[in-house]
Structure 1
Amino acid sequence: MNLTIDIGNSNIKISKFENNKFIELLILHNELDIIKFLQSEVNNTFINSIIICSVSENISELLLSVARMVKNFIVFSHKTPVPIINVYSSPKTLGLDRLAAAVGAFTIFPNKNCLIVDAGTAITFDLLNNKGEYLGGAISPGLTIRYKALSHFTKKLPELEFTENLEYPGKNTINSIHTGVQSGILYETEGYICNLEKYYSDLHVLVTGGDVNFLVRNLKKPIFAQPNLVAIGLQRIIQFNEKNP
């Protein structure tokens, strides 16, 4: 069994793979939870490989020492070999979760033009061409950030929690905020898709992230939803490094 550990801005996702098939997802909330989980798994289950991908470079030595107990252990970094070509002009600044998601897209749709939309704390748009080249993308505020920003930078607008509401025109301030935030994300996403379709034939759009269901319900363009895209990419990176030590 392989474990992929994706330490993000909001939570920690641990995915289990058996014979290259995704079998289980666990959501944890802090590093201590990861350590307790790994200690239990290492003692009771055969684990072949572990890969850790973190938005922060600060991974505790205790967590690393537990992870090193398995046969193959990778701390995913910009130096880790991957099965795609990164032509980003500043490759060391590219978020590792974005790179892993691109590998995941390449795994699902090899040699296809792909747009990856990751709707999380931030919304990222990443382009991978049919040569397996990661070309770059865009970073935009996610749903939660947009709600918080409207309240923080104005004097009278309230801070709202996400409630799906696309009524237009909004008949009151609450509905207007919901409609503005949510429609803005949808129009932005569909705009990227429409523009890229002019230049990349047979574009495959993959959506993932914590707000993936909102996009799935409301985008009018054909999309492929894969909530575990980063994990699939990390699993592929494990395989690639096993074959290319």
Structure 2
Amino acid sequence: MTQKTVHILNGDALKSQVEDWLTDELIVARECLVDGDEYGDDLDSFYQFRAKFISQYEGYEEEDYFEKTVPEIEKIRRLPQHAEVNLWFEDDVFCQVNFWFCVHLLNQNGVHNLWLVRPEEHTQYGFGGLQQPELEMALNNRLKLDHQKEIASLWEMFKTKGVDHLNKMAVLFNDEYPFILNAINAYIRSIPTKDSRGEPLILLTQIIKDLKTQEFAPVFREFCKRAPIYGYGDLHLKRLLDNI
């Protein structure tokens, strides 16, 4: 049986960087799962909740989710069990939550030959700051995922807001994948409590004060510079700014 090789990419920007030289199937994870608070009990309800949530973003309708995001998720679900899957995700919270979700789907379907491709260094630019030779090097240095069941469980813990369980699980394989615990710790710091609005909102407030402007573009650039661990996209950050 010929082995099928697939690359699950963290966004369309990365697809544009690799589609000219990667000849295998490309699937794009068009989600921002770190943003939101309702994910449903099964995939059908997940699609409904996420489509409704994404429609809150300026310029997006529920139909867009079903036309652009759902088909890519369904491609992941239909992968054969013998497939070799390279997951291209970075170390930030945005990427990691999407990564856990993808591993969850693959684990459910019995696809176990999984590899993680990540930039050698974590920066605010991620894969976007790399040229083809560096992307090829990242692929050559990919990590075999030996804790698939545990990484898959991170999605369930995130979905149910099991913060304590997230931390404890990540500690178990921190020696092999320390970036996972770093992302979880940042995610925990982002959660509002009775004593804090959460680190991202606190940081945004400070940036507005430091720059003496609420203009989105410079605030967004400065947030990405100061807190690359979050990896938030512009639409997500705009939503946060509306809460200030």
Into which bin does the TM-score normalised by the smaller protein fall?
under 0.3
Task: Indicate the structure with greater strand content.
Answer: 1
Task: Indicate the structure with greater helix content.
Answer: 2
Larger CA Rg, structure 1 vs 2: 1
